[in-house]
Amino acid sequence: MTWQITREDLADLARGATLLGTGGGGDPYIGKMLVERVLGDGSITVLDPDELADDLFVIPTAQMGAPTVMVEKIPAGTEPTLALRILEEHLDRRADATMPIECGGINSMIPLIVAAETGLPVVDADGMGRAFPELSMETFAVYGVHGSPLALAGERGERVIIDTGDDDRQMEWLARAVTIRLGGVGHIAEYAMTGADVRRTAVPRTLSMALALGRAIREAREEHRSPFEAIQDTLASTLYCHVRTLFEGKVVDVDRRTTEGFAKGVARIAPVGGGDEQLEIRFQNENLIALRNGELVAIVPDLICVTESESAEPITTEGLRYGQRVRVLGISTPDLMRTPDALAAFGPTAFGLTEEFVPVEDLVPAPEIATNAN
Amino acid sequence: MTWQITREDLADLARGATLLGTGGGGDPYIGKMLVERVLGDGSITVLDPDELADDLFVIPTAQMGAPTVMVEKIPAGTEPTLALRILEEHLDRRADATMPIECGGINSMIPLIVAAETGLPVVDADGMGRAFPELSMETFAVYGVHGSPLALAGERGERVIIDTGDDDRQMEWLARAVTIRLGGVGHIAEYAMTGADVRRTAVPRTLSMALALGRAIREAREEHRSPFEAIQDTLASTLYCHVRTLFEGKVVDVDRRTTEGFAKGVARIAPVGGGDEQLEIRFQNENLIALRNGELVAIVPDLICVTESESAEPITTEGLRYGQRVRVLGISTPDLMRTPDALAAFGPTAFGLTEEFVPVEDLVPAPEIATNAN
């Protein structure tokens, strides 16, 4: 089903995308402002992946960089479209649509800026099904569509094209170097593909899922229902059907540094009333692993989402503050993100973790949130 | 006059190019081996800049990186031509000729590899008139031809295009980042221009000058004449007509480190027989400044060349060793390299030096080498 996004949807979409950002992905509220400015009272056409023509030509667009830098370095707004145009010129082919490479965080919004500026539709799918810190961590790549050639645009009109053939990690390695030298943020177009490729390699309907999540949280608050129940109810019918509460407490320690173009660190959460229990979350832009009293309770690629304990407002890595009351959720990812090839690309070992992947629904079997929500 | 380079010329050319490398520019002997392998018994056509058709399309080719790394990371030999082809495809125009961007060091040889592989002629000119550490330090840029778009090829077939418009320093900044991540060496095609541009912006006949210098040094040795007189005699009729001996002695200290893609450091030379005199040379890939007992005797862009005291064999920065007996020469550069615009691009301030440029012939007025050669 083809549907439309208008400015009224953007706040909900931003909220849902922040949740799917699992701590990273950049702040979608900045992206939201940029979309609003370009979109005005217009609307953006969203295409369902199942309805794409096989030969539709899709060029995904995104921003890359450390979220800690993105907060301070707001893009002019024209760079993502410039990145698309650079890739179109290089390939000598015009795009029929754009698409997120990452539905979590600001990269849920960047393709909407491009769509609003160019009139192109956006495909309701992405290649991460959440947020990941590296450009090579894509279901697209796992299932055979590679990122090269990548086009990268800088805020002063710099134009860079990187083609590393099938080696998406080398593409990431070189693009990251350029992004660091552009001041920490670059705008990119990459993983150009056909409609048939989208169906074969993308995580479907993650844009609509982010919007539905953000809307459900808001409506629950307005109606004084539990927003955590709303999250659970929304996800129940999606590919992300298992939701677990990993911990409730307050933030007692955040160790965070921006290094090599990433925001890396550790957060610790303890019970509000005191006690020996503790949740430790390690992150690289996104939350990677959660250990409760030293025992694994969730691990990448499953989602580890820190939220405000009353409102369920998602909190990003750079938004973590000492003393915050939080509930940490674990959310299962779709099967196509848990295959051996997928885990090799963005599972624990891809981040240098020694723990093996275990589905969050196996680590925390019960109770479901609905039964213990306050 | 059009002339031919054959394999018999390569050793002499390498020697002369090392002298013009002023300590840097990478080792041309590695480049020489690569040219020999491709050239065999063939020859390369060299075009005089004054005889180029106005609309001849010239794409210069080069290698970038720290010379200390180049010694250990010998290129496969096909990368420079790949860089040329990437730029041709990007511009949708075939090159009629290639050209050095830098006549000193290995970059005197790289265009010859391309010429031997492709059959293209080489233009007898360059944009540095010596060696410099950064891609923006070009007479091309000083006189209005900019480096973008730059094509960069890696040893595993990586293809990168960088276009920063008129901002050659930003081009250097981004290309350097990619080069570092490629392991320290990248192969580039940049500063595409017409024959008319070459005449307006290039330092003419530096390839033939390097060959003549190398040949003169060798023949003087064979005939037991002073190779230093031979250098002076060769340069007397060129744009590099002033030659001075800055110091004779032995190397007593070399402090050298590879940092941010450059080889930086300081060398100190003292009299062989002892004494308080000392020459200090500071370098960033190339020798930048020479101070004799703390007083300036030569400064970039003039050439500061360390040579073996008997044979006049030029010694590169990475070849400097404790105890070497050396004679250090100062050689004047052409007027087009000493204009205010030229000095802004590659004079002392471009390297963070606080000393002002003074021509070597004014700093060390007499005697000429011929009168005090041993």
| Partners of residue A180 in chain B, C-beta under 8 Å | 177
Left (φ > 0), alpha (ψ -120 to 50) or beta: where does B285 sit?
A: left
Domain assignment present for residue A210? The answer is: no
Round to whole Å and give the CA distance between A108 and A85: 19
Mark whether B47 and B151 lie in a shared domain: yes
What is the predicted pLDDT for the residue at B308?
A: 97
CA-based nearest distance B171→chain A, Å: 9
**Is the domain of B334 the same as that of B245?**
yes
| Residue where a domain stops, chosen among B204, B219, B250 | B204
**Chain A residues within 8 A of B160 when measuring between CB atoms:** 160-163, 174
Q: Closest-CA residue in chain B for A157?
A: B164
Q: Is B158 part of the contact surface with chain A (CB cutoff 8 Å)?
A: yes
Q: Is residue B213 part of a domain?
A: no
Neighbours of B166 (CB within 10 A): 11
Q: Is the pLDDT of residue A344 over 50?
A: yes
Tell me: pLDDT of A373 over 70: no
In a domain, A218, yes or no: no
Residues B104 and B234 in one domain: no
CATH code assigned at A245: 2.40.390.10
A364 CB-near residues (< 8 Å, 6+ apart): A244, A245, A246, A297, A298, A330
User: Would you call A235 an interface residue with chain B, using a CB distance cutoff of 8 Å?
Assistant: no
Give the separation between CA B20 and CA A341, rounded to whole angstroms: 53
State the Cα–Cα distance between residues B297 and B275, nearest whole angstrom: 19
Which ranges of chain A does DSSP label H, i.e. alpha helix? 7-20, 28-39, 67-70, 79-91, 110-118, 139-142, 168-181, 195-201, 206-222, 227-236, 340-346, 360-363, 369-372
The distance of Cα A94 from the centroid of its chain, to the nearest Å, equals: 26
Amino acid B204: pLDDT: 98
Residues of A within 8 A of B156 (CB-CB) are 164, 167, 170
- Summarize the confidence of residues A235-248 as an average pLDDT: 96
In the numeric block, the tokens 């190779």 are attached to B227
Q: Verify that A158 and A251 share a domain, yes or no.
A: no
| Structural tokens at position A189 | 């177009």
According to DSSP, residue B148 is labeled P
Q: What is the mean pLDDT of chain B?
A: 93
Look at residue A167 in the predicted model and tell me its pLDDT: 97
Side-by-side strand order, sheet with B3-5: B3-5, B44-47, B122-123
Residue A372: pLDDT band with limits 50, 70, 90: very low
Tokens standing for residue B311: 């044979």
Q: Give the integer Cα–Cα distance in Å for B16 and B12.
A: 6
Higher pLDDT, B25 or A126: A126
How many other β-carbons are positioned within 10 Å of the β-carbon of residue A7? 17
A261-303 pLDDT per residue, tens: 677 899 999 999 888 899 999 999 899 999 999 999 999 999 9
- Per-residue CA distances from A348 to A103, A263, B59 (Å): 20, 17, 46
Question: Chain A contact for B257, CB < 8 A?
Answer: no
In angstroms, the CA B110 to CA B124 distance is: 13
Same-domain pairing of A299 and A164: no
How many domains would you assign to chain A?
A: 2
Is residue A38 domain-shared with residue A159, that is, in the same domain?
yes
Place of tokens 């090799």: A344
Under 8 Å CB-to-CB from B274, ≥6 apart: which residues? none
Q: Is residue A328 part of a domain?
A: yes
Q: Are residues B181 and B141 in the same domain?
A: yes
Residue A212 in any domain: the answer is no
Structural domain containing residue A250: 225-372
What CATH number has the domain bearing residue A110?
3.40.1610.10
- Please state, in angstroms and as integers, the Cα–Cα distance from residue B267 to each residue in A31, B25, B94, B275, B296, following that order: 52, 17, 44, 17, 15
DSSP state of A248: E
- From chain B, the residues in CB contact with A157 under 8 A are 164-165
Contact A75, A37 (CB under 8 A): no
- How close does chain B come to A159, measured CA to CA in Å? 5
The predicted pLDDT at position B374 comes to 43
Residues A200 and A231 in one domain: no
Higher-confidence residue: A325 or B74?
A325
Claim to verify: residue B158 and residue B89 sit in the same structural domain:
yes
Q: Is residue B221 part of a domain?
A: no
Q: Which phi and psi (to 5°) does residue B164 adopt?
A: -115, 25
- Report the gap between the CA of B89 and the closest CA in chain A (Å): 9
Whether B169 has its CB under 8 Å from any CB of chain A: the answer is: no
pLDDT at A274: 85
Tokens read off for B172 = 């250097």
Nearest CA of chain A to the CA of B280: how many Å? 33
pLDDT for A259 beyond 80: no
Kindly report, residue by residue over A346-357, the tens digit of the pLDDT: 999 999 999 999
Q: Are residues A241 and A330 in the same domain?
A: yes
Strand segments, DSSP code E, in chain B are 3-5, 44-47, 57-58, 61-65, 122-123, 125-126, 150-153, 159-163, 185-189, 193-194, 203-204, 243-259, 262-270, 279-284, 286-292, 295-299, 303-308, 325-331
pLDDT tens, B58-99?
Answer: 999 999 986 555 556 666 668 899 999 999 999 999 999 999
Residue B148 in any domain: the answer is yes
Tell me the pLDDT band of A29, cut-offs 50, 70 and 90.
confident
Domain boundary among B189, B204, B219: B204
Same domain flag for B299 and B232: yes
- Category of B66 on φ-ψ map: left (φ > 0), alpha (ψ -120 to 50) or beta: beta
Distance CA B238, CA B358 (A): 20
Q: State the pLDDT at residue A31.
A: 86
Backbone angles phi, psi at B107, to 5 degrees: -75, -5
Please give the torsion angle defined by the CA atoms of residues B46, B49, B55 and B60, in that order, rounded to the nearest 10 degrees.
60
| Partners of residue A264 on adjacent β-strands | A257, A284
Q: Does B91 touch chain A (CB under 8 A)?
A: no
Query: pLDDT per residue over B154-169, tens digit each?
Result: 989 999 999 999 999 9
User: Within 10 Å of residue B220's Cβ, how many Cβ atoms?
Assistant: 20
Please give chain B's pLDDT, 374 residues, in tens: 899 999 999 999 999 999 999 998 887 888 899 899 999 999 999 999 999 999 999 999 999 986 555 556 666 668 899 999 999 999 999 999 999 999 999 999 999 999 999 999 999 999 999 999 899 999 999 999 999 999 999 989 999 999 999 999 999 999 999 999 998 889 999 999 999 999 999 999 999 999 999 999 999 999 999 999 999 999 999 999 999 999 999 999 999 887 776 778 999 999 998 888 999 999 998 999 999 999 999 999 999 999 999 999 999 888 899 999 999 999 999 999 999 999 999 999 999 999 999 999 999 986 644 544 44
pLDDT by residue (tens digit) across B209-232? Answer: 999 999 999 999 999 999 999 999
Work out the average pLDDT over A208-215: 98
Q: How confident is the model at residue A326 (pLDDT cuts 50, 70, 90)?
A: very high
- Count of H-run helices and E-run strands, chain B: 13, 18
Q: Is the predicted pLDDT of residue A206 greater than 80, yes or no?
A: yes
Amino acid B51: pLDDT: 97
In a domain, residue B209? The reply is no
A359 and A235 within one domain: yes
In this complex, which of A161, A180, A182 lies closest to B160 when CB atoms are compared? A161
pLDDT in tens, A76-108: 678 899 999 999 999 999 999 999 999 999 999
pLDDT of residue A261: 67
